[in-house]
Amino acid sequence: MKIVTFRRNEENWPEVGVVRGESIIALGANCPTPTALIEQWPMAKAPILEYLDKAPAEAILPFAKTKLSAPIPRPPKLICVGLNYRDHAIESKMEIPKVPTIFNKFSTSIIGPGDKIVLPKTSEKPDYEAEFAFIIGQGGRHIPAEKWRDHVFGYTIINDVSARDYQMATSQWLMGKTFDTFCPMGPWIVTADEIEDPHALDIKMTINGEVLQNSNTRELIFKIPDLIAYLSSVMTLESGDIVSTGTPAGVGLAHNPPRWLRPGDECVVSISGIGELRNPVVPEA
């Protein structure tokens, strides 16, 4: 199942829906937010499936008459993992981490598919990072790694846009990672039952038709079970939390000369089994 957050037009409030073919079926007032849907999923799944087969005509909307937002515009937590592909750690000239490197991005950085990545006036080194992300369903603390499937609701795509000059200015990466518009996300959440093995997905970044990153999630150093166990040993994971699992080799910083994002670029992150996330790049006004 593909779950989206969308607007019928610019004036409407965001709604939650399910993709069926070339249409979106709005779930209506009984599902006001994606986080509410995720929290209620164990009880809501069967009634939603029944509703989708009998949805009234006014709830069925052609894609062309909607605008997708980020699937979870305001997650409880947006957790990111650094240096989590072996080839990316090597190209960054950093040691293979022995424990996950964790940072976060704030919700104000989140944008949806088709929204503009705005390059800040104050940074000269804006970079791209194709990333595979998972969404927590049932939360908890001290979750055993072998129980990870009980706690994953689904998967989505993130572009972890990064201002490298800000990121490398201190030992803390946060400020370089969380500029407004620096977290494109989407186009939807694919529920966990749709993806048999999340550690065997092709991941690619294409800019203006040029493939700059091309890898597979099997190359992750710390996989989903490791990350859930590690994170929940420190914090309570909550329904709707998003964990972005890191980026493979090929980031702009590693090119010679570096390939920074430029106005007029179009970033396309594609992950097999999920889809494509497209975002144009513009300068700050």
Its domain, for residue 228, covers 78-283
* b/e sequence 231-243, b meaning 16+ C-beta within 10 Å: bbeeeebbbbbbb
CATH number at residue 237: 3.90.850.10
What is the predicted pLDDT for the residue at 29?
A: 79
pLDDT digits (tens, 9 = 90+) for 32-50: 899 999 999 999 999 999 9
- Which residues, in sequence order, are CB contacts of 101 under 8 Å at separation 6+? 81, 82, 83, 84
Mean pLDDT for 258-269 is: 98
Task: Round to whole Å and give the CA distance between 181 and 162.
Answer: 10
Asked if residue 133 and residue 270 are part of one domain, the reply reads yes
Asked if residue 83 and residue 61 are part of one domain, the reply reads no
What is the predicted pLDDT for the residue at 11?
A: 65
Please say if the pLDDT value at position 253 is more than 80. yes
Number of structural domains the chain divides into: 2
Asked if residue 169 and residue 250 are part of one domain, the reply reads yes
Of 68, 99, 124, the domain-final residue:
68
Of 46, 68, 90, the domain-final residue:
68
Task: Round to whole Å and give the CA distance between 93 and 82.
Answer: 13
Give me the percent of the chain exceeding a pLDDT of 70.
99
Asked if residue 91 and residue 23 are part of one domain, the reply reads no
Asked if residue 235 and residue 183 are part of one domain, the reply reads yes
Asked if residue 87 and residue 36 are part of one domain, the reply reads no
What is the predicted pLDDT for the residue at 132?
A: 98
Mean pLDDT for 178-203 is: 98
Please say if the pLDDT value at position 251 is more than 90. yes
Asked if residue 117 and residue 9 are part of one domain, the reply reads no
Asked if residue 110 and residue 251 are part of one domain, the reply reads yes
Asked if residue 114 and residue 93 are part of one domain, the reply reads yes
- Report helix, strand or coil for 241: coil
Please say if the pLDDT value at position 19 is more than 80. yes
pLDDT digits (tens, 9 = 90+) for 156-168: 999 999 999 999 9
CB 3 within 8 A of CB 37: yes
Mean pLDDT, the chain, whole residue set: 95
| C-alpha pair distances (Å), 112 with each of 21, 23, 69, 76, 158 | 20, 18, 4, 17, 10
pTM: 0.96
Please say if the pLDDT value at position 10 is more than 80. no
What is the predicted pLDDT for the residue at 17?
A: 97
What is the predicted pLDDT for the residue at 167?
A: 97
Give me the percent of the chain exceeding a pLDDT of 90.
91
Please say if the pLDDT value at position 91 is more than 90. no
In this structure, of 52-61, 145-154, 239-248, the range with the lowest mean pLDDT score is 52-61
What is the predicted pLDDT for the residue at 101?
A: 95
Closest CA to 25 of 3, 10, 41, 45: 3
More confidently predicted of 79 and 32: 79
What is the predicted pLDDT for the residue at 162?
A: 98
Of 20, 37, 68, the domain-final residue:
68
Please say if the pLDDT value at position 12 is more than 80. no
CB 152 within 8 A of CB 189: no
- Could you tell me if residue 29 is inside a domain? yes
Please say if the pLDDT value at position 235 is more than 70. yes
Token code pair at residue 135: 């969404």
- Could you tell me if residue 195 is inside a domain? yes
Asked if residue 151 and residue 14 are part of one domain, the reply reads no
Asked if residue 143 and residue 28 are part of one domain, the reply reads no
Closest CA to 76 of 16, 154, 139: 139
What is the predicted pLDDT for the residue at 58?
A: 93
Mean pLDDT for 23-40 is: 92
Asked if residue 85 and residue 55 are part of one domain, the reply reads no
- Could you tell me if residue 73 is inside a domain? no
